[in-house]
Amino acid sequence: MSLLQSATEVRERAYAPYSRFKVGAALRAASGAVYQGCNVENVAYPEGTCAEAGAIAAMVAGGDTVIAEVFVIADSPEPVPPCGGCRQKIAEFAAPDVRVTLCTTDGKQKAMTVAELLPGVFTAAHMDRA
């Protein structure tokens, strides 16, 4: 199964009773394993958790810590980028040249690198004086 198919499949399992905006994410770890995540909303935090964060949590729980590729899909007129927090999380586990593909359910795609997705990323090097 491709990453696009995996992200599309998990998107259908998103729990989005407030926004009704379902997002699916799939990533391939450096090991070759594929991990999925979908957004999950709740009444206290209606924005919920993001699909990308869910996929990264699944990856770490699965014993992997290096992202090789990411796909994100949503039913939107244009490809939807990850939120700022998820961009930072992706950058924590992926090299700057890792490909991130943003997709719509209509088939539009936009591919970019992690560096393009999050220019000026905060890294551990920023804390060298701490």
Domain ranges of the chain: 3-119
pLDDT per residue over 5-14, tens digit each? Answer: 999 999 999 9
Instruction: Please tell me the distance from the alpha carbon of residue 36 to that of residue 52, in angstroms, as a whole number.
Output: 8
Q: Catalytic residues, which ones?
A: 52
55 sits in which H/E element = helix 51-61
pTM as predicted: 0.92
Dihedral pair phi/psi, residue 120, rounded to 5°: 70, 30
Residue type, 85: G
103 labelled binding-site residue: no
Structure token digits, residue 27:
């990533």
pLDDT per residue over 14-57, tens digit each? Answer: 999 999 999 999 999 999 999 999 999 987 777 778 999 999 99
50 labelled binding-site residue: yes
3-119 is a CATH 3.30.450.40 domain: no
Distances (CA, A) of 130 to 20, 122, 124, 127: 43, 14, 10, 5
44 labelled binding-site residue: yes
